[in-house]
Amino acid sequence: MKSKALKSQLKSFWKDELIANETYSFISKRVKTEKKEIFLQISKMEKGHSEVWSKISRDEGFKDFKVTFALKFQIFIMKLISIFIPLPIMVNYLEYQEKRAIFNYSLLLEHYQEQTKTYNLIERVIKDEILHETHMIETILDKMSYLNRTRQAIHGFTLAIMKIFALLIGFLVIFPDEPKAVLITGIITVISGSFVTFASTFISSRGHKEIKDNHEEQISIKEEVHPESLQADLSNALLEKGIQKETIDDILSIIGNDYSVLSNLVRSIRLDSGGVSPLTSAFVTGIYFLIGGLPVILPFIFPVFFPSFTILYAAIVSAIIALILTFIAGLIIGILSGKQVFIKAFEKVLIISIASGLMYLIGYLISIIPGI
């Protein structure tokens, strides 16, 4: 690995650990249950990990890392998010970060295979991260159905905003002087879309649940009868994610015969939902499709009853509402999926903008066809 790339990677790990340290510490002050001590303990360990990456960087001859304004701002944003986001969702996000850290740190082990002291330091950090990830899983184990319902709700919500707003924009181009027609079209689409979303989610959730239940049963049987076989399951799961065989061997070596940690990691990677019936998933998605669509069509009520409030004003207000709600939903999706939160939010805004632009183009092309 080139020195510039190595320095960048070490600095990235150092920053991640400092952000994690501050976030866990902040959450521990807000938690009143027995989980408070867990968050506090993890916070201290993350601080120690940041010092490990700083030490390795100095040993490589790089300059000391500095806490910049940008880093302080990132920490502030994470604390702010943790205030407004329910604890189970925030813990779910942190669990994803621990999992990502395990993979990323394991990749670095290959670079230090010949340097025993540094290798052992990184190995110790990885083992801590595995324990952290296990703690996070145990912390939210009884909240998995809640997390899954939240995912379904956000899916239905964003789907409605994108579909309804894009459709209204296209329809608006064809009928620019008929606000009542646009409004009625929006209402019909929201109601019918809610039922269609309910049905499609029920069918897909039912199939997904059968697969998930089968995997859960297999893991439980292996735990009881042959726990060693879970090593192969974890190895295959990591291979599917693109992790190198040598790195996987390092991870398995660190875990050793701790089958509790092993089974939790297998569940974490293989199973992504918890205990929600297909009917509940369908109901939640359908209802939130309805909830997501209504704010987008509501502005079009005003041109119908108040002619001075033109259909153009209604479209502008609807666009502002759609973009704000999509951005907020994107933030939550980013947290639930463990992705870069703001990138995910802007990605959703970009998608709805492109979809609306295409519908506008389609509407315009239809409007210039003779006889329409």
% of residues, the chain, pLDDT over 70: 85
Tell me the per-residue pLDDT of 113-147, one tens digit each, with 9 for 90 and over: 788 888 888 888 888 887 777 777 667 666 777 77
pLDDT above 90 covers a percentage of the chain that reads 17
User: Which one is predicted more confidently, 180 or 230?
Assistant: 180
Whether the CB-CB separation of 364 and 173 falls below 8 Å is answered with yes
Q: Which of 94-98, 244-248, 279-283, 334-338 has the highest mean pLDDT?
A: 279-283
Q: What pLDDT does residue 210 have?
A: 63
pLDDT band at 370; cut points 50, 70, 90: low
Has residue 229 got a pLDDT over 80?
A: no
Tokens of 284: 């939640």
pLDDT at 290: 92
User: In the predicted model, what is the mean pLDDT of residues 80-87?
Assistant: 86
Give this prediction's pTM.
Answer: 0.72
Confidence of residue 106 (pLDDT cuts 50, 70, 90): confident
State both tokens at 91: 């813990």
Q: What is the pLDDT of residue 217?
A: 66
Residue 326 pLDDT class (50, 70, 90 cuts)? very high
pLDDT grade for 242, boundaries at 50, 70 and 90: low
- The pLDDT confidence band at residue 72, using thresholds 50, 70 and 90, is very high
Distance CA 230, CA 244 (A): 18
Is residue 190's pLDDT more than 70? yes
Question: Would you say residue 207 has pLDDT above 70?
Answer: no
Phi, psi at residue 178, to the nearest 5°? -130, 75
Lowest-confidence pick of 2-11, 159-168, 305-314: 2-11
Is 170 a residue whose pLDDT tops 70?
Answer: yes
Measured in whole angstroms, the distance separating CA 180 from the mean position of its chain's CA atoms is: 39
Q: Rg of the chain's alpha carbons, rounded to an integer?
A: 25
The reported pLDDT for the residue numbered 14 is 92
* pLDDT the model gives residue 222: 65
From residue 155, how far is each of 89, 312, 349, 355 by CA, in Å?
15, 29, 14, 17
- Of the candidates 348, 314, 361, 336, the one whose C-alpha atom is nearest the C-alpha of residue 162 is 348
Q: Which CATH class is domain 3-144?
A: mainly alpha
Of 139, 151, 135, 153, the closest CA to residue 87 belongs to 139
Amino acid letter for position 168: L
Per-residue pLDDT at 247 exceeds 80 = no
Checking if the pLDDT of 196 tops 70, the result is: yes
**What's the pLDDT band for 295 if we cut at 50, 70, 90?**
very high
DSSP string, 332-359: HHHHHHTS-HHHHHHHHHHHHHHHHHHH
What is the pLDDT averaged over residues 169-177? 85
Residues contacting 230, CB < 8 A, separation 6+:
219, 222, 223, 259, 262, 263, 266
Parse the chain into domains and list their residue ranges.
3-144, 145-367
Distance CA(112)–CA(126), nearest Å, equals 14
* pLDDT tens digits for range 260-275: 777 767 766 655 545 5
CA 226 from chain center: how many Å?
33
d(CA 81, CA 84): 5
Is residue 38's pLDDT more than 60? yes
Q: Tell me if 339 sits within 8 A of 346, measured CB to CB.
A: no
Cα 268 to its chain centre, rounded Å, is: 14
